[in-house]
Amino acid sequence: MAVYTHVSTEEIFEFMASYDEGEVISFKAIAEGVENSNYILQTNTGFYILTLYEKRVNPDDLPFFLGLMGHLVRKGCNSATPIGDRQGNILRTLCGRPAALISFLPGLSVSRPVPNHCFQLGQEMARMHRAASDFNLSRENALSVAGWQKLVNQCEGRADEVMTGLKDLLYNEMTFLKENWPETLPEGIIHGDLFPDNVFFLGGKLSGLIDYYFACNDILVYDMAIAINAWCFERDGAFNVTKASRLLRGYAGVRPLSDDEIAAMPILCRGAAFRFLLSRLYDWLNRVEGALVQVKNPAEYINKLKFHRAVKNSREYGLDI
């Protein structure tokens, strides 16, 4: 839950005076996302999301994130998109922070995805990968192999506070991933954070993707490995192969997968589980009592990583049929 920066009525009126979006008639802080301050804003012409970017977002990355959202919408993807002021600026300043007015995307995220949700997510992810292929900016993934090593270095001294043996697990996994991480798979822009929170559905149909603030250039099917981790485990920790199979098939129906991409799924899933284990572990070890952000326990991703370490080939993800 976010909302760090309080924007007063007077400040929002002054900010919106530069836009052609009508008169502000309602403005409420929403508890969405963990990185930024978000408001829902109503004018006499419609609803919008106003986002103030807090310190975890690098301002230099904002032209990439906001430009990508606009690019995807222009190419026909369902996504929230930034709205320009009268001078065409999509990146503004409010209360001393970078800020953007974003279109309001109807839809709700699902708490308990069923296989058909996963199928639609796979389709939309592939459409997004294709649509982003001619976007003219790029952004390195700060949370890929080199970034993991930094987090391992920062966390290993205290990792065993969370679970005995975690330090060794981190060390062994880091060594394995560094030596075996694929280097020749197709790359492009990925969303990087396709958790159920960031995917909206309306009447059972996927209505759009939100929160592109981890988007970056990386192995395309690494996006699917993240989604397998986020969508295909039940609450009791069991892996649901039907969901994974539907996700992969939805994707492959729009952007066919090569044999190499299929064969790489186990290590990509290990890498994705490792990435979220590390970022959650870092946040957990550095959590501040009383902070508004709810820190997620890293244990969930220790278990997911262990699952993927035991996977022998991609058939176990439902890719054999």
- In the complex, least distance from residue 295 CB atom to a second copy, rounded to whole angstroms: 11
How far is residue 38 CA from its own chain's centroid? 16
- In the complex, least distance from residue 257 CB atom to a second copy, rounded to whole angstroms: 30
Selected from 202, 260, 297, 320, the binder of a second copy by CB under 8 A is 202
Is 235 among the residues that bind a second copy (CB under 8 A)?
no
Distance from C-alpha of 143 to C-alpha of 59, rounded to nearest angstrom: 17
37 or 141: CB nearest a second copy = 37
97-126 mask for a second copy (x: CB under 8 A)? -------x-xxxxxxx--------------
Selected from 18, 19, 21, 30, the binder of a second copy by CB under 8 A is 30
C-alpha atoms less than 13 angstroms from C-alpha of 276 in its C-beta half-sphere:
29
Is 54 among the residues that bind a second copy (CB under 8 A)?
no
Residue with tokens 């999509």: 90
Is 96 among the residues that bind a second copy (CB under 8 A)?
no
Distances (CA, A) of 233 to 173, 195, 273: 21, 12, 12
Distance from C-alpha of 186 to C-alpha of 279, rounded to nearest angstrom: 25
5 or 245: CB nearest a second copy = 5
Distance from C-alpha of 3 to C-alpha of 12, rounded to nearest angstrom: 15
96 or 203: CB nearest a second copy = 203
DSSP string, 197-246: GGEEEETTEEEEE---TT-EEEETTHHHHHHHHHHSB-TTS-B-HHHHHH
Backbone angles phi, psi at 21, to 5 degrees: -110, 15
How far is residue 287 CA from its own chain's centroid? 21
55-94 mask for a second copy (x: CB under 8 A)? ----------------------------------------
Instruction: DSSP letter for 46, please.
Output: E
Is 152 among the residues that bind a second copy (CB under 8 A)?
no
278-307 mask for a second copy (x: CB under 8 A)? -----------xxxx---------------
Beta-strand runs (E) in 45-198: 46-53, 82-83, 92-94, 97-103, 187-190
Is 147 among the residues that bind a second copy (CB under 8 A)?
no
Is 25 among the residues that bind a second copy (CB under 8 A)?
yes
Instruction: DSSP letter for 50, please.
Output: E
- In the complex, least distance from residue 128 CB atom to a second copy, rounded to whole angstroms: 21
99 or 219: CB nearest a second copy = 99
85, 99, 102, 105: which is closest to 7 by C-alpha? 99
5 or 314: CB nearest a second copy = 5
- In the complex, least distance from residue 69 CB atom to a second copy, rounded to whole angstroms: 18
Using CB under 8 A as the criterion, which residues of the chain lie in contact with a second copy when the complex forms?
1, 3, 8-10, 12, 23-32, 40, 42, 47, 104, 106-112, 202-203, 289-292
